[in-house]
Structures are given as structure tokens and as C-alpha cells.
Amino acid sequence: MLSKTKEVSEIEIGDDVVYLGKEGDFKDRIVTHRVIEKRVQGETYMFTTQGIANYEADPEITQDQIIGVVMCNIEPLSYISKMINNLYAFYFVIFLPLVLLVFVEVRRMVLGVKKEKIDERKEHIEEKANDEDRKE
């Protein structure tokens, strides 16, 4: 998601804004939600936002919380971000494949070492057999 700064007076209902949450579940989190209501209280702009998939509006925010307005959404980056932030997706898509890859590589190394030892033993046995043949 790419955002740009915009004068708060120019933000309209329907714009997707990026803001720093100060209350509840949004405290100290950067949130991107759609403006559903805008009002002016004295010299301060107040906004009510709501997530696209949410049924309830967010706590009201003030103009000093606004970071910017969304210019465009880059879907693949959004999916990657969601996977990294979701514990189950992170586990199954990133962590588990990484563990399997390490396991396969360690197994390959161990089997390679065993094969080398077997080959060395075969060579040693063949050398002994050749030495015994020469002695006869």
C-alpha cells in the first residue's frame, strides 16, 4: 500500500486514510481504514473510519493522528504482510517449509557421509583382497 500526505481539509468521505491509533485495539498501531464521517470541531478536523470488512466504526480520530491517504494498494505486498502478521500463516507458509528444507539438507549431508564411509570400507576391503592375491 502506498500513501501520501494530504491536507486534512482535503480528505473526503470515502478516502482510505492511514493513521496512528490511540485507543482500544488500535492503540500504537498504524491502521488503514476508510473515512465514513468527517466533521470540524473548532479548528480541529475529526474523522470516523471503518475497516472495509468491519461492521462497526472505529473510535473517532483527530487530524493529528492522520499519516496520509492511500494512493494505491499493492495486493501481493498486502498478502505477504497479512501472512507474516498471522501466526498460523507464518507457521505453515514460512516456518514449516524452512524447517523441512533444513531437515532435507541435514539428511542429505548425513547420507552423503555414510556413503563416503561405505565407499572407503569397500576400497579398504578391495585393497586387502588385492594384497592377499598378490601374496599367493
Q: Write out pLDDT tens, residues 17-55.
A: 999 888 777 788 888 889 999 999 888 999 999 988 788
71 is written with which cell numbers? 494512493
CA-wise closest residue to 56 among 86, 33, 22, 81: 33
pLDDT, position 101: 93
In order of 22, 24, 72, 81, the CA distances from 88 in angstroms are 27, 24, 28, 13
Kindly state the helix (H) or strand (E) to which residue 91 belongs, with its residue range.
Answer: none
Domain boundaries, the chain: 1-73, 75-136
Of all residues in the chain, what percent carry a pLDDT higher than 70?
90
pLDDT, position 1: 60
pLDDT, position 136: 62
pLDDT, position 99: 92
pLDDT, position 100: 93
Q: Write out pLDDT tens, residues 65-93.
A: 888 888 766 677 767 777 777 788 778 87
Q: Report the largest interatomic distance among the alpha carbons of the chain, rounded to a whole angstrom.
A: 112
Whether the CB-CB separation of 36 and 49 falls below 8 Å is answered with: yes
Residues 72, 27, 54, CA angle at the centre, nearest 5°? 55
DSSP of 25-69: GGTT-EEEEEEEEEEEETTEEEEEEE-TT-SSPPPPEEGGGEEEE
What confidence tier does 102 reach under pLDDT thresholds 50, 70, 90? very high
Of all residues in the chain, what percent carry a pLDDT higher than 90?
12
| CATH number assigned to the domain covering 1-73 | 2.30.30.140
- For the entire predicted model, the pTM comes to 0.53
